[in-house]
Amino acid sequence: MNVQFKKGALELCVLALLDKQDHYGYELANKISKRIAISEGSVYPLLRRLAKEEYFTTYLQESKEGPSRKYYCLTDKGRDYLHQLIHEWVQFTSGVNKLLQESDHIE
Amino acid sequence: MNKDVFMKKLAAGIKKLPKEEQKEILQDFAEHFSVGVAEGKTEGEVAAALGAPNQVAKELVATYHLEKVNHSSNAGDVFRAVWAVIGLGFFNLVIVLGPFIALVSLIASGWVIGGSFILSPLVVLVNVVLYPETLLLFDVFVSIALTGLGILIIIGMYYVTRYMFKAFMKYLHFNVKMVKGGLNNE
- N-to-C CA span, chain B: 17
Shared domain for B80 and B100, answered yes or no, is yes
Contact B70, B169 (CB under 8 A): yes
Whether residue B30 sits in one domain with residue B102: no
Could you tell me if residue B100 is inside a domain?
yes
B11 and B87 together in one domain: no
At A10 the pLDDT is 87
Pinpoint the alpha helices (H) of chain A. Answer: 3-20, 25-35, 43-52, 76-102
pLDDT at B184: 42
Alpha carbon of B180: minimum distance to chain A alpha carbons (Å): 7
Given this model, what pLDDT does residue A25 score?
93
The verdict on B142 and B170 lying in the same domain is yes
User: Is there a single domain that holds both residue B10 and residue B81?
Assistant: no
Average pLDDT over residues B97-112: 87
- The alpha carbon of residue A103 is apart from the nearest alpha carbon of chain B, in Å, by 28
Is B39 or B85 the better-scoring residue by pLDDT? B39
Q: Are residues B17 and B83 in the same domain?
A: no
List the single range of A43-57, A74-88, B89-103 with lowest mean pLDDT. Answer: B89-103
Q: Is the pLDDT of residue A58 over 50?
A: yes
Closest residue in chain B to residue A69, using alpha carbons only: B31
- Taking residue B9's Cβ as centre, other Cβ atoms within 10 Å add up to 17
Q: Evaluate if residue A104 carries a pLDDT over 90.
A: no
Mutant choice from B61, B180, B186 vs A, greatest count of A C-beta within 10 A: B180
What is the model's pLDDT at position B31? Answer: 93
**DSSP-derived pairing of the beta strands A56-61 and A69-74:** antiparallel
User: Do residue B45 and residue B65 come from a single domain?
Assistant: no
Highest mean pLDDT among A14-18, A37-41, B135-139, B159-163: A14-18
CA-nearest residue to B36 within chain A is A26
Whether residue B174 sits in one domain with residue B104 = yes
First-to-final CA distance of chain A: 20
Assigned domain for B56 exists: no
Q: What CATH number was assigned to the domain covering residues A3-102?
A: 1.10.10.10
| DSSP class of B94 | I
**Calpha distance A45→A10 (Å, rounded):** 11
- Beta bridge pairs of residue A56: A74
**Same domain (yes/no): B144, B171:** yes
Average pLDDT over chain B reads 83
Domain count, chain B: 2
Q: State the pLDDT at residue A67.
A: 74
B84 in a structural domain: yes
Q: Quick one: pLDDT band at residue B104, thresholds 50, 70, 90? A: confident
Say if CB A39 and CB B50 are below 8 A apart: yes
B108 vs B43: CA distance, rounded Å: 52
pLDDT for residue A29:
94
CA distances (Å), origin A79, targets A11, A18, A23, B10, B63: 12, 9, 15, 32, 22
Residue-wise pLDDT for B123-170, tens only, equals 888 888 888 777 677 888 888 898 999 999 999 999 998 888 888 777
Q: Which domain holds residue B42?
A: 1-51
- In a shared domain, residues B146 and B175: yes
Question: Is A34 within 8 Å of chain B by CB?
Answer: no
- The reply to whether B6 touches chain A by the CB within 8 Å rule is no
